[in-house]
Structure 1
Amino acid sequence: MKTHFWKALPLAIFLVFQPAAQAGVLKDHPGHWLGDMKIPEGQTVKIGAEIFARADGTIWASVASPDQDAYDIPLQSALEEGASVSLKHAVFTLKLTWDKDHFDGEWKQGDAPLKFELRQVAAFPAKARPQTPKGPFPYKDETLAIAGANGVTLGATLSIPNGTTNPNVVVLVHGSGPGTRDLGVLGHKHFAVLADHLARQGVAVLRYDKRGNARSTGDYEQHTTAHLIDDLHAVVKAMKARKEFKRVGVIGLSEGPGLAAAVAARDPKSVDFLVSMAGIGMNGLDTMLVQDRVVAKDHGADPAQVERLMAYVRGFYDVLMAHDEAAPRIAALKAFQQTQPAGVMELVKKFKMDGGSLSLDWAAKPFMIAALRSNPPADWRRVRSPVLLLNGSLDHQVPAEENLGGLVATLKAGGNRMVESEVLPSLNHLFQTAKTGKEDEYGQIDETIAPIALKRIAAFVVKQR
């Protein structure tokens, strides 16, 4: 999936992850801290900091901007000095200084620091979504710490239905971008909703924070697809080792199904069944090209403009993939941009084709070149376990026609005859009931996951006995 689920925030919320502070002001003041920060234009926005222990026991923090539906924002560093701690990422620093019963906050982004107070609250304010799970719950939640790849510790929640013997268990796997175990997107908690629904049907569910996010340790910004595959493999093996579950399956969204297919292909005994929600059925480059064409159209480019933009996009990716090292890659991309025909860069800016996978920031990251070079169909061809493939008819990020058809053909070509597939009408990439399917609808829709999708997934999982 091309898009990271963050809004275009004026406070710039894309961060890196580094080792945690271990003692002092963070350790002494756990919980949620919230304040009102007045920015120069006169607008006041709520800014929060959460202080907590990660899965390995180290003390850490994250930043939130509730007015912009941004939570669990991972940090670059947390540097303590006396009664103060500086929560830092690449664009801003939030310095917190303890003062009797609250934090004095200082936000630095640009020249003028902004000062405000943060006081403790029970939780950050958030939009009320009707499907967000509410008790009483007919299942128990266990908080787990799972050893992932490269020394990473993954924070996770395992929901086990009450009174069920040897249930199936499913592992939920994120799409691209930062992700917590609840998969919070614009006030929605997609994985919390899916886990709750399945647990009420007698299915155990394991969901985890992606490396470098929330309670999981690690460096998210330096991850590659291989790291995510290894993390998922570790989680699946942890569920197999518990011996209390009948069968172990994986449900993935967007990029997630490809990770699941990779694990199933390399360790067939580890995954008993798979569910693909908007899984990618093409290689990485072709996926990006299809997505970029849709983005150009969605932003109003006419057919001639779309073709000019796509010539630029293809050239950008060709240059990106030609350089293994980040520094020469960025230098080559800057030179490529400077030699574009007249008017092309203006079109790129006008139709918002300069962000995400087409930004120099992403181009410098190892996950970007890994994604472009990826080939999910090669793994899917080796999957022999039962598979359910679902796509929404209004998906603009992973269009059903190209991707669902590609997955069905690939699985059958590999000899898998246990494949079910369906395009669910009027659903977008997040499996919400939508009108257009465009990304700007995601936060406007109260529904988190359409009941038809929840029912279809649960029916498939339950029958895998």
Structure 2
Amino acid sequence: MKIKLSFIALFFITYSFSLGQNLAGPWKGTLNLPNGKLDIIFKISAKDNDLKGIMDIPAQGVKGLPIHEIKYHSPFLHIKLPNLGIEYVGNVIDDDHIEGTFKQGGQSFTMNLEKNLDEETPMSKPQEPKPPFPYVNKAIEFYNKDAGILLSGTFSRPTDLKRYPTVILISGSGPSDRDQNILGHKPFLVLADHLTRNGIAVLRFDERGVGSSQGDFKSATTLDFKNDVEAAISFLKLRTDVDPTKIGLIGHSEGGVIAQMIAAENKDIAFSILMASPALLGKDILLHQKQQMEIISGVPDEAVARNQLIFEEAYDMIINNEQPLDERLREYFKHQYHNNISNQQLNAIVTGMSNPWFVGFVKLNPAIYLQSIKTPLYALNGSKDVQVLADENLKMINDELTKNGNPNFKVEKLEGLNHLFQECESGLPAEYGVLNQTLSPVFLEKVSDWIEDITKMKH
């Protein structure tokens, strides 16, 4: 699920093409905001004329945010975060100084950067596996002929040359690379390593328009991402080291919905694992998420109830296809907040709620797919997940699979875990990057044990 937070807070970002080896290094700048100063650190790496980077916000305890897009056309450096309407444009003066402007939601702040070699490189999280690996780990590419794009990823398997049970990892919403890099964590790398060490092959890939994969992420919908996974399935069926009768899906959050879609219609899928997967109508997922986050954050009850009414009506406008949607939403929120809302806030809300992915998600009803899934399925949620609430969604999965007569499914709530399956305190997204744990060992063992049991049963 996308993380919706306030100005310059946590956010998802990815990569793009650029030039300029001299830009590599840590760059530090200070935003002079109305409520105080905020240091921003861009850490840029360059390889083969490709710029990538991460962003630190020390005052918020956040490190290792992957940057969405970095481009350099001499003398100008562009850093873009389109999901939040954020852009940094700087004039590169020399190898150590950039003069520029930080923009968001119609507001601009002068922010000059200096290369600061004293800034330490973010430490890897303790669970992040390092080579050499005791298994085969190969960079791969596969083609989505329907979209006309080449997708890049990593395929891992044990060293013995035979046909293995294989899973495809499907990430949640927001641009994601093959490791599901988020706030310094690489959960898909950790999960793939654990599964491969336990005799299960794994395919994970950069989403379209992310990392080394072709395509346009910003214009893509859930159905487009589903199509990419189907291309991965076709690729696996041609491999001599994959058992084509034991191909499964592991989907996290929105990726779990994609797994449901495919399992409902594709007979080649042997099993599915849903990690914190929505099962309710998209509109209800978003309302529950907003309510739970506000309650835990201490928002007054009256404000929580008021926000529920306001956003429920806005989501209904989307479901009812009111057009032009962006204009209707803009006028609606101006009226609801009696014009006491800044252009910055208004632009962020309208831009986020009118893009194709969001419109599709509000209307999405996973129960339709659950009704048709007859193959083995394992659904897990953390008890402290505030983005996809465990009880409501697991109940829906249980009810729908019971009604359709699925003979082999399991739903389980794991105590003390958040949306990313980390052991946590509050479960709020602000904790994700601060925690050292990437994935709970309990979660990892449950997943590998279940796959082992299922694939042994299937001959």
Give the TM-score normalised by structure 1: 0.83
Q: Which residue of 2 aligns with 1:299?
A: 297
Q: Which residue of 1 aligns with 2:431?
A: 441
**Which structure 2 residues correspond to residues 252-401 of structure 1 after superposition, within 5 A?**
252-269=251-268, 271-323=269-321, 328-340=324-336, 359-401=349-391
2 CA distance for matches of 1:461 and 1:124?
A: 40
Cα separation, partners in 2 of 1:396 and 1:425, compared to 1, 3 Å: same
Using the aligned pairs only, state the percent identity: 26
RMSD between aligned residues:
3.2
Cα separation, partners in 2 of 1:192 and 1:12, compared to 1, 3 Å: closer
Alpha-carbon deviation of 1:225? 0.9
**Which structure 2 residues correspond to residues 17-416 of structure 1 after superposition, within 5 A?**
20=17, 25-26=19-20, 29=21, 32-40=24-32, 44-52=39-47, 60-67=50-57, 68-75=62-69, 78=71, 80-81=73-74, 86-88=78-80, 90-95=85-90, 102=95, 105-109=98-102, 110=108, 112=110, 114-117=112-115, 125-148=121-144, 149-163=146-160, 165-246=162-243, 247-269=246-268, 271-323=269-321, 328-340=324-336, 359-416=349-406
1 CA distance for matches of 2:278 and 2:10?
A: 29
2 CA distance for matches of 1:437 and 1:268?
A: 36
C-alpha contact 1:17 1:219 (8 A) present in aligned 2: no
1 CA distance for matches of 2:284 and 2:80?
A: 36
Instruction: List per-residue Cα deviations over 1:401-458 (Å, max 9, x = no partner).
Output: 1101101211222231110221111111111112332222223322111111100000
Cα separation, partners in 2 of 1:301 and 1:37, compared to 1, 3 Å: closer
Alpha-carbon deviation of 1:274? 0.6
1 CA distance for matches of 2:23 and 2:136?
A: 23
Alpha-carbon deviation of 1:111? 5.6
Cα separation, partners in 2 of 1:437 and 1:115, compared to 1, 3 Å: closer
SS at 1:318's partner residue?
helix
1 CA distance for matches of 2:211 and 2:78?
A: 18
1 CA distance for matches of 2:236 and 2:251?
A: 16
Q: Which residue of 1 aligns with 2:410?
A: 420
SS at 1:272's partner residue?
strand
Which ranges of structure 1 fall in alignment gaps of 5 or more residues? Answer: 54-58
Letter in 1 for 2:316: D
C-alpha contact 1:33 1:48 (8 A) present in aligned 2: yes
Cα separation, partners in 2 of 1:217 and 1:103, compared to 1, 3 Å: farther
C-alpha contact 1:86 1:93 (8 A) present in aligned 2: yes
SS at 1:256's partner residue?
helix
Alpha-carbon deviation of 1:9? 6.2
1 CA distance for matches of 2:289 and 2:391?
A: 13
SS at 1:401's partner residue?
helix
Cα separation, partners in 2 of 1:88 and 1:372, compared to 1, 3 Å: closer
Alpha-carbon deviation of 1:329? 1.1
Instruction: List per-residue Cα deviations over 1:286-344 (Å, max 9, x = no partner).
Output: 2122212212212223443322221111112122333466xx212111221233276xx
1 CA distance for matches of 2:80 and 2:336?
A: 36
Q: How many residues align?
A: 435
1 CA distance for matches of 2:121 and 2:173?
A: 26
C-alpha contact 1:30 1:50 (8 A) present in aligned 2: no
2 CA distance for matches of 1:257 and 1:201?
A: 22
Alpha-carbon deviation of 1:16? 9.1
2 CA distance for matches of 1:16 and 1:125?
A: 18
Cα separation, partners in 2 of 1:44 and 1:158, compared to 1, 3 Å: same
Which ranges of structure 2 fall in alignment gaps of 5 or more residues? Answer: 103-107
Letter in 1 for 2:63: D
C-alpha contact 1:72 1:213 (8 A) present in aligned 2: no
Alpha-carbon deviation of 1:165? 2.3
Alpha-carbon deviation of 1:96? 7.2
1 CA distance for matches of 2:148 and 2:43?
A: 29
Letter in 2 for 1:3: I
Task: Tell which deviates more after alignment, 175-184 or 105-114.
Answer: 105-114
Runs of 4+ with deviation above 4 angstroms: 11-18, 38-44, 83-90, 94-99
1 CA distance for matches of 2:10 and 2:393?
A: 32
1 CA distance for matches of 2:169 and 2:346?
A: 28
Alpha-carbon deviation of 1:355? 9.3
C-alpha contact 1:2 1:288 (8 A) present in aligned 2: no
SS at 2:277's partner residue?
coil
1 CA distance for matches of 2:419 and 2:11?
A: 23
1 CA distance for matches of 2:195 and 2:259?
A: 19
Give the TM-score normalised by structure 2: 0.84
SS at 1:169's partner residue?
strand
2 CA distance for matches of 1:297 and 1:52?
A: 45
Alpha-carbon deviation of 1:387? 0.8
2 CA distance for matches of 1:444 and 1:301?
A: 23
C-alpha contact 1:428 1:434 (8 A) present in aligned 2: yes
Alpha-carbon deviation of 1:94? 4.5
Letter in 2 for 1:221: K
